[in-house]
A and B are shown apart, each in its own frame.
Chain A
């Protein structure tokens, strides 16, 4: 029982990081119907920002987290303006290939600056609480709580604020939104800022939980988070969160009961089956045909 609870905590930790990254994919898709394949690499940049701020500026946890999020958000907005905006009227495949290119650029740029894996210093004193045979680390609790708080804030922004309303409107029909007096480009920039900022936050938290970082760390995590977004129903914010926690749980459970090398294989197989049963994802709806 304690073992199961322990694994559930691990699953929540991993799942919340996946969910944070998946949100970035789903928000950008929702608003531009484009998969930002550079998003996993922006997550990696978040981890490197965390490293730079913590090691060279000796900042404590909170400013490191906030500045890393801000840095990645700015980078996301710049990437959208320079690389994706000129392609908005181009076929979607051009934008997707560009996104892959931006991802490769980020990987290799980081690699050029930092050829060896880096070690993120412990920004927080990690205390472990033992309850019976159960051990809970404060870091784990922090990662889960912080992710949940960020997701609640995001959900509030999307569902309850004027800007969130504009984002949802753009995801329905981008061509009509300017007629409401809404500056569409600003809302798209804001969406990129929030989505990539959350990816940056995930990078920081990942770096704290698994402190060795390298320029290629975003690839696999990015693919998995993308799958989370698809499983939850791409374009659906709550779906991305659910998808993240599902994948986190599946991975941890597989690693707990099978040899850990089976983890990715079983996880991806389960997700494939889920997609066969629900091709639009858990919360996704079949796209209405527009005439």
Chain B
């Protein structure tokens, strides 16, 4: 990929929790317009990687986004820089209405007319959210909450979405639906870094993939090439 296309570059990233090393010196890149997936078993360090990028946890190494060093930026400034993180477990505010959840994600934005247009887009993408816009976030089903979480990320007008296990806890039909939507969002111009345990589905939609095992990248390549690779299965079973 050419330098101009490079959107996110992570170099030598390590994350420690007390004495436990969750992420061990990993480096990877995401180009503008790509879907890149980090796959691996539970505890491989996928979520920690995302949490480091969006400034929620301390780390060593460097994270560069659109030519900007994110190291000393607070999490809310990283959102302003153009990264929206959909956290594991969706992070819906159960005491806020669906509409308020979406509005809160616009905190950094001043462009009122564009916000209104984006809200329309989100409601077009997820009609269920419009129907339920006055209900509290806590009243939604798991699938609806996931849609709200993605909708919220879209409302922050970020260039790049970090999606942490969007398929978790959803029925197979909903999993297919959410992956279809991820691809649709990507085609509409958002760059996506997708963290998943569901390797098959994510390799299917990803342009490139990195396989994590106990905090290290053990394998990388084009999504399609890695499908069915025995090493991927090995990484899941633990080496």
Residues of A within 8 A of B (CB): 162, 165-166, 168-169, 171-173, 175-176, 178-184, 288
If A168-B95, A181-B79, A182-B76 touch, whether A175 touches B107 (CB-CB below 8 Å) is no
**Cα distance A184–B56 when bound, in Å?**
12
Query: Which A residues are in CB contact (< 8 Å) with B107?
Result: 162, 166, 180-182
Q: Does B75 lie within 8 Å of A176, measured CB to CB?
A: no
**Cα distance A133–B93 when bound, in Å?**
53
Q: Does A179 lie within 8 Å of B75, measured CB to CB?
A: yes
Q: Shortest distance in angstroms between A83's beta carbon and chain B's nearest beta carbon?
A: 22
For the residues of A in contact with B, the DSSP-based class is helix
**Cα distance A162–B85 when bound, in Å?**
21
Q: Does B76 lie within 8 Å of A183, measured CB to CB?
A: yes
Query: Which A residues are in CB contact (< 8 Å) with B108?
Result: 181
Q: Does A175 lie within 8 Å of B74, measured CB to CB?
A: no
Which bracket fits the contact residues of B? 20 to 34
CB within 8 A of B76: which of A172, A178, A288?
A178
For the residues of B in contact with A, the DSSP-based class is loop
**Which of A168, A175, A176 has most B Cβ within 10 Å?**
A176
Q: Does B33 contact A (CB under 8 A)?
A: no
CB within 8 A of B87: which of A171, A172, A176, A288?
A176
**Cα distance A182–B56 when bound, in Å?**
13
Query: Which B residues are in CB contact (< 8 Å) with A172?
Result: 93-96
- Which of B10-18, B97-105, B208-216 lies at the binding interface? B97-105
Query: Which A residues are in CB contact (< 8 Å) with B75?
Result: 178-179
Query: Which B residues are in CB contact (< 8 Å) with A178?
Result: 55-56, 74-76, 79
Nearest CB to that of A170 among chain B residues?
B93
Q: Does B46 contact A (CB under 8 A)?
A: no
Q: Does B104 lie within 8 Å of A165, measured CB to CB?
A: yes
Q: Does A180 lie within 8 Å of B87, measured CB to CB?
A: no
Nearest CB to that of A290 among chain B residues?
B89
Q: Shortest distance in angstroms between A266's beta carbon and chain B's nearest beta carbon?
A: 35
**Cα distance A184–B76 when bound, in Å?**
8
Q: Does B152 contact A (CB under 8 A)?
A: yes
If A162-B107, A184-B76 touch, whether A179 touches B94 (CB-CB below 8 Å) is no
B 53-105 contacts with A by CB, 8 A: 54-56, 74-76, 79-80, 84-85, 87, 91, 93-96, 100, 103-105
Nearest CB to that of B95 among chain A residues?
A172
Q: Shortest distance in angstroms between B114's beta carbon and chain A's nearest beta carbon?
A: 15
Q: Shortest distance in angstroms between A174's beta carbon and chain B's nearest beta carbon?
A: 11
Query: Which B residues are in CB contact (< 8 Å) with A181?
Result: 76, 79-80, 105, 107-108, 156
Query: Which A residues are in CB contact (< 8 Å) with B56?
Result: 175, 178-179
Nearest CB to that of B91 among chain A residues?
A176
Query: Which B residues are in CB contact (< 8 Å) with A182?
Result: 76, 104, 107
B 138-177 contacts with A by CB, 8 A: 138, 152, 156
**Cα distance A176–B80 when bound, in Å?**
15
Query: Which B residues are in CB contact (< 8 Å) with A175?
Result: 56, 91
Q: Does A176 lie within 8 Å of B76, measured CB to CB?
A: no
12 A-B residue pairings within 8 Å (CB atoms): A162-B103, A169-B95, A172-B94, A172-B96, A175-B91, A178-B74, A178-B75, A178-B76, A178-B79, A179-B75, A179-B87, A181-B107
